[in-house]
Amino acid sequence: RKKMGLLLLLIICQYAINSVKTHSVSKPNIILLMADDLGIGDLGCYGNRTLRTPNIDRLAEEGVTLTQHIAASPLCTPSRAAFLTGRYPIRSGMAAFSRVGVFLFSASSGGLPSEEITFSKLLKQKGYATALIGKWHLGLNCESSNDFCHHPHSHGFDYFYGLPVTNFRDCKPGQGSVFLKGVQKALVIPIQITGIALVSLAIVQYSGLLKVPFQALGYCLLIITISLVVLIFFFYHFRHLNCFLMRDHQIIQQPLSYENLTQRLTKEAMQFIGRNANAPFLLVLSYLHVHTALYASENFKGKSKHGLYGDAVEEMDWSVGQVLDVLEKHNLSDKTLVYFTSDQGAHVEEISSAGEVHGGYNGMYKGGKSTNWEGGIRVPGLLRWPGVVQPGAYIDEPTSNMDIFPTIVKLADAQLPSDRIIDGHDLLPLLQGKVTRSKHEFLFHYCNAYLNAVRWHPGNSESVWKVFFFTPNFSPEDSNGCYDSHVCFCHGGFITRHDPPLLFDLSRDPEEKVPLTPETESRFYEILRVVHQAIDNHTRSLHAVPNQLSWNNLLWKPWLQLCCSSVFQYCYCDYESGGSPVEVQSG
C-alpha cells in the first residue's frame, strides 16, 4: 500500500511538473527591445571593454547569445518590415528600386501594406495586449492625413507612443542636416539649366530671332518660383513637419523635444507592463538610440569613454535595466521572453560637423549600415527566458531577425499564415538545445531590391559560404565605408559587379578579408552552382507587389501632413509638459 501511495504521489508530482513546464512555454509575455544603428561591437557581451552595458550583458548571462544573428536588410525601414512580418522585405514591397531605401517624411504615402500580417496582429487575436513604444518608420497615411492606414494601430498594436518616422540630425538644432548636401547637389544642375534656358529665351526674344510669348515665360518663372519656395519652406520647417511625438493617433509634441526622451519612453514601457501584469502582453520597445541625432540626458551626458555616442549607449542600457527591474517587481521574469537586437549594424560614416565620431563599432566585421558586409547585417541577438532557454549559452548558427515572427507566434498558440511564405524559422528548439543546427540553409542578402549576396550553410559542413554579386565602392577607397555620400548605394557607379562572384568562407574568414578563388578553393564552382540553384528557387517564390518605396510613395505630399495646430502656427504644440492632446489637423 505504501509503495502504491508513493507511486501515486510520484505520478501526481510528475504531472504537476509537466503542467508547469507546459504552462511556462505557452502564452508567455513578450518584450522585444530594438536598438537603432547599434554596432555588435558596442556591447560588453560581444567583447566591448570600454562601454558599460551591464543590463544588456545580464540578458546574455541569463539567456542565449546569438553570434551570427542577421538583419534581413542593412537599412531601417526594410529591416523593420521583415522583423514584423517574418518575410524578406522584397515580398511586401518594402525594398526600393531607387536610391532612397527608407521613408524620409511623415507625409509620404508609402508604408507597410495592410495585407501584410504582423506578429502583433496574430498575438492581439490571441488576447495579448500589444504596444509599440519608440520608433515606427513604416509609414503613416495613404490618401488623407487621418486615414492612418500604415499606423501601428493598423498593424495590431493597441497602443503607440513614439515617432512615426525616425530620428534625424535635422530633428535636433545644431546637429547639422542629412539632406542639405544631397539637396544642394540635386538642385545645382537643374537651377543652372533653368537659368541658362531663361536667359537664352530672353536674349532670343530681345534680338527678335524668335517670338516667345511673355505669358509663357511668366508661367515658367511662376512655376519655378513656387517650387523653390515650397522646397525652401519644407526644409526650413523640416523639424516641425517630420519630427514629432504621437500617442496613438494624436500628436502630443511637435516638434519633438529630446529632453529626458529616453526616460519618457522607458516610463511608458514600465507603465504598460504594470497595466498588463495579469494578462499576456507584447511590448516592442524600439529605441531612438543610437541613430543620429545623438542625445543623452544630464545623468548620462559626459559619463562614458566614447563621447556622446557612448553616453547614448549607456543610457539605453539603463533603460533595459529599468524594464528588467519592473518585470521582477511584478514577478513576471519567469513568464516573459525578452529579446534584444539592433535593426542593422552601426553607421560608420556618422561623423559630426566638429569631427566627433557619432557612429558605432562593428567589432572585427567589415563595413556597416547600408552594406551587406558582415558589419552591416550581423547584429546583437540576445534572448532570455528563465527556466526555458539555456542560460549563458552561445549559438553560432545563422539566425535572422525574421525568426522572431514564427517563434513568438508559436509561443502565443497562434497559427502561422498558410497563404504566404514565411522566411523566418522558430528559434525555440535552438534556444533550448533540442537541435544544434539552424534551419536557415540559405539566407538572401538584399541591397534595397537588388540581390546582393547569398549565405549558404550546408547541412553536412561547418562552413558558412557567402557569395557577393556586387560590392559597394567605398569612398575614400582605403576606408571602411562610403564617407563621401554618407551611406553606400546599390546600383550604377556606386557599386562594382563581380563575375565570377566573390566567395568567402565566414567560418574561417569572418572579416571577409580574402576572397576565395578556384585555385584556393577546390569546390569554388560547385558552391556557385548550388547557390545559383537556390537563387532560382527563391526567385520563383517572389510575386510582383506594389512598390511602397517608389518615388511617388516617398515624396512629401502636403495633403498628408499632420499638424497639431496649423501650418501658420508652425505646427507647434507640447502636451507632454501639460495640457490635453488634440486630434491632428491636416496641413
Q: Distance between CA 211 and CA 148 in Å, rounded?
A: 51
In this structure, the strands spanning 281-286 and 29-35 are: parallel
Name which of 360, 240, 352 is nearest 291 in CA terms: 360
Compute φ and ψ for 502, nearest 5 degrees. -75, 140
Spatial distance between the Cα atoms of 280 and 25, rounded to a whole number of angstroms: 12
Closest CA to 548 of 118, 103, 251, 123: 103
Residues 6 or more apart in contact with residue 18 via CB below 8 angstroms: none
Amino acid at 428: L
Q: Measure the CA–CA gap between 384 and 261, rounded to whole angstroms.
A: 26
Q: Which residue has the cell 510613395?
A: 553
440 as an active site residue: the answer is no
Neighbours of 184 (CB within 10 A): 9
Q: How far apart are CA 357 and CA 366, in angstroms?
A: 17
* Cell numbers describing residue 328: 521582477
Tell me, yes or no, if 573 is annotated catalytic: no
| E strand segments, 354-481 | 378-384, 393-395, 399-400, 442-447, 450-456, 465-472
Active-site residue identified among 137, 358, 425, 457: 137
Indicate the residue type of 280.
P
Tell me the C-alpha distance between 560 and 167, whole Å. Answer: 20
Q: How far apart are CA 243 and CA 133, in angstroms?
A: 15
CB 74 within 8 Å of CB 344 = yes
For the chain, what's the residue count?
Answer: 587
Contact status, residue 118 vs residue 155, Cβ threshold 8 Å = yes
Of 45, 69, 76, 563, the catalytic one is 76
Residue 562 burial (10 A CB sphere; 0-12, 13-18, 19+)? buried
CA distance 73 to 12: 50
Q: What residues act catalytically?
A: 76, 137
